[in-house]
Structure 1
Amino acid sequence: MTAAQDLASGKGRTDENFPVASILISARHRPAVHAFYAFARAADDVADNASASGPEKLRLLEAMRATLAGESETDAVSARLRGVLRDRSLGPQHGLDLLEAFRRDVTKRRYADWNELMDYCRYSAAPVGRMVLDLHGEPRSTWPANDALCAALQVINHLQDCAEDRRDLDRVYLPQADLAAAGTNVAALDAVRSSPALRSVICSLARRTQDLLVEARPFASQIADLRLRAEVTFIQRLAEDLAARLVARDPLCERVHHSKPELVALAGSALLRLLSEPRRPPPPGRTADLTP
């Protein structure tokens, strides 16, 4: 019987658009973050596999859920994460939330509007940051700013990969309402370059992402752990630059990703920001909400 590992894509942490537990993260926390990443990578590979059927994908994701929840020992990567979380006195909820997003990737190929997309980000992106925060012992009052940053990162990935997702998976995260309002549809993603209508949708979504990044801007200063604060500052700076690029460039035919020299320059900019901004504890009593 097929296991999740049989559908592995071969992608790893260095293939992602944003850092995954870089050397900025304390060495004592990196193995746990890597275990969570391996779990997420395995589930993503299942959901995105071109040869497996929908029911087979859902069966494999359910095996991951049952193993992570302690109901079985079927899936090795999930069992490993469960052990890591147990050793850190952490529960499985963030991983379980993440699996909900991958189930949606199997069964849902279109998103009606921005609110529906933000609800997807609540499961596909926010749990990753929340898990890292819990691992570092940060308070849950940091979650609203975390969720805004994670949602922004997710939408940036959607915009960068919009043509590829449509071509390879017939999956379109650009909200249908936005496409319709601009007088276009998903078929516009099949062109070699964006039409004016599609370009207007991408720009509008990139600007809404910039609004999320404004909301996320205080996040780094709310984090007590200096190394994690540095990592988040760098990621925030990368995201701000990528969102600006998506306003200015067409992801169907222009380069949006950063080169290594550009990453070095952005790292320097992030360092200056880190040194110039004092730590400000998060406001008490807030709850996460991704809706506008």
Structure 2
Amino acid sequence: MQGSFHLPKHRRTPICIARTLRPAFLRMELNRDAPSSPRKNVRERAIHMSQSENFPVGSLLIRRDLRPMVHVFYRFARDSDDVADDPGLAAEAKLQRLAWFEAGLDGDSDGAPQGLALASLDRPEPSHHARQLLAAFRWDARGGSCATWGELLAYCEDSANPVGRFLLNLHDEGRAARVFSDQLCTALQVLNHLQDLRADHLRLGRHYLPADWIVGEGARLDDLGADRLSPQLRRAVDRALDQCDALLTGAENLPGVLRSRRLAAEATTILWLARRLSRHLREQDPLAGRVALSRLDFARAGVLGALVVLRGQTSAQAQRSAWEEEA
């Protein structure tokens, strides 16, 4: 998949990677002896990663002492996700390499260094959440596609929500935040899927927009490869955006239940960016070209985050004033 905070195709996540973390941080090279291990220049990969993410998780808003752990988790998620989304690898080769990543989580010295780095952290949660991500990536590797909205939600449960839960655990947040974090991560994941409708279909033979919605509106799956949305496919996309907006409405409760003001600021910026991306996707055609957030979008989101950190302004207050200005 191409995101976490997309967050694959660069999405995840989610407060997600989904592909939803956004550090320009990449230090470890892949093990030379890994099965079919790609070898890219580290700086080149870092630039590619920083440019391809939607949402700035792992930013300066995260507490300094926690950032290294966020980066280690992100590196694992990003690199294992890239395996599942590599159009040049057969399904069996992808599964073999994903097993190598899991071997690292198991502490196998021959496993992926990204997994070993996660396993070496002095907490059990990162490895648990990483295994959930691997379950989603295996599904991707086998060419999985979503027949219904329920299937897409189940997929996001493994592919996106673990990222938000990882950040909650890292900050010792309570379980009250989990449902709102899941809503945010799921929305981010779906938005990123909508950005990549055409690329997923043409490069990977996958689709995440529910097939029953596509067919129900009178469109065909092959329409995902067209150079513009048909009216029928537009309706299916808008239906998904309606669901995302409902999820984001629920997720607006997240900053208010977080004890960490910095994490609340991070969530606030991502919520605002998600709303912006949803609006862009309604106004633009994701098949005609990639719909993306602008530098101005990121700048405005940063101001909202600063309001939370410096003045204690709540996410709802900050976002309401921002949307009033936008209107």
TM over 0.5: yes
Gaps of 5+ in 2: 1-32, 317-327
Query: Which residue of 1 is the match for residue 196 of structure 2?
Result: 161
Q: Cα deviations across residues 183-233 of structure 1 (Å, max 9, x unaligned)? A: 112211121110000111111101110011011110111111111110011
8 Å CA contact 2:238, 2:282 repeated in 1: yes
8 Å CA contact 2:268, 2:304 repeated in 1: no
- State which of 212, 235, 248 in structure 2 corresponds to 1:200: 235
8 Å CA contact 1:122, 1:151 repeated in 2: yes
The CA distance in 2 between the partners of 1:135 and 1:14, in whole Å, is 25
The CA distance in 1 between the partners of 2:315 and 2:287, in whole Å, is 40
Check if 1:54 corresponds to 2:86: no
User: Between Structure 1 and Structure 2, how many residues are aligned?
Assistant: 277
8 Å CA contact 1:97, 1:127 repeated in 2: yes
Query: Which residue of 1 is the match for residue 38 of structure 2?
Result: 6
Instruction: Report the CA distance shift for 1:249/1:69 in structure 2 as closer, same or farther (over 3 A).
Output: same
Check if 1:45 corresponds to 2:82: yes
1:60 deviates by 1.2
The CA distance in 2 between the partners of 1:194 and 1:7, in whole Å, is 37
8 Å CA contact 1:26, 1:227 repeated in 2: yes
1:131 deviates by 0.5
Aligned with 1:29: secondary structure?
A: helix
Instruction: Report the CA distance shift for 1:278/1:168 in structure 2 as closer, same or farther (over 3 A).
Output: closer
Q: Which amino acid aligns with 2:266?
A: E
8 Å CA contact 1:161, 1:251 repeated in 2: yes
Q: Cα deviations across residues 97-116 of structure 1 (Å, max 9, x unaligned)? A: 01001001011332110000
The CA distance in 1 between the partners of 2:305 and 2:264, in whole Å, is 11
Query: Which residue of 1 is the match for residue 185 of structure 2?
Result: 150
1:92 deviates by 1.7
8 Å CA contact 2:200, 2:207 repeated in 1: yes
Instruction: Report the CA distance shift for 1:89/1:52 in structure 2 as closer, same or farther (over 3 A).
Output: closer
Query: Which residue of 2 is the match for residue 286 of structure 1?
Result: none
Aligned with 1:12: secondary structure?
A: helix
Deviates further, 270-279 or 218-227? 270-279
Query: Which residue of 1 is the match for residue 257 of structure 2?
Result: 222
The CA distance in 1 between the partners of 2:244 and 2:273, in whole Å, is 13
Check if 1:108 corresponds to 2:143: yes
The CA distance in 2 between the partners of 1:207 and 1:63, in whole Å, is 39
1:261 deviates by 2.0
Aligned with 1:112: secondary structure?
A: coil
Query: Which residue of 1 is the match for residue 104 of structure 2?
Result: 67
The CA distance in 2 between the partners of 1:230 and 1:241, in whole Å, is 17
1:81 deviates by 1.1
Identity value in percent: 37
8 Å CA contact 1:4, 1:42 repeated in 2: no
Query: Which residue of 1 is the match for residue 209 of structure 2?
Result: 174
Q: Which amino acid aligns with 2:190?
A: V
Instruction: Report the CA distance shift for 1:4/1:230 in structure 2 as closer, same or farther (over 3 A).
Output: farther
Instruction: Report the CA distance shift for 1:29/1:273 in structure 2 as closer, same or farther (over 3 A).
Output: closer
8 Å CA contact 1:47, 1:102 repeated in 2: yes
Instruction: Report the CA distance shift for 1:56/1:255 in structure 2 as closer, same or farther (over 3 A).
Output: closer
Instruction: Report the CA distance shift for 1:91/1:48 in structure 2 as closer, same or farther (over 3 A).
Output: closer
Q: Cα deviations across residues 22-78 of structure 1 (Å, max 9, x unaligned)? A: 011111010000000000011111111122221111111112113213355421111
After TM superposition, the score normalised by the length of structure 2 is 0.79
1:278 deviates by 8.2
Instruction: Report the CA distance shift for 1:138/1:13 in structure 2 as closer, same or farther (over 3 A).
Output: farther
After TM superposition, the score normalised by the length of structure 1 is 0.88
The CA distance in 2 between the partners of 1:240 and 1:148, in whole Å, is 13
Query: Which residue of 2 is the match for residue 247 of structure 1?
Result: 282
Check if 1:189 corresponds to 2:224: yes
Gaps of 5+ in 1: 280-292
8 Å CA contact 1:13, 1:20 repeated in 2: no
The CA distance in 2 between the partners of 1:202 and 1:256, in whole Å, is 13
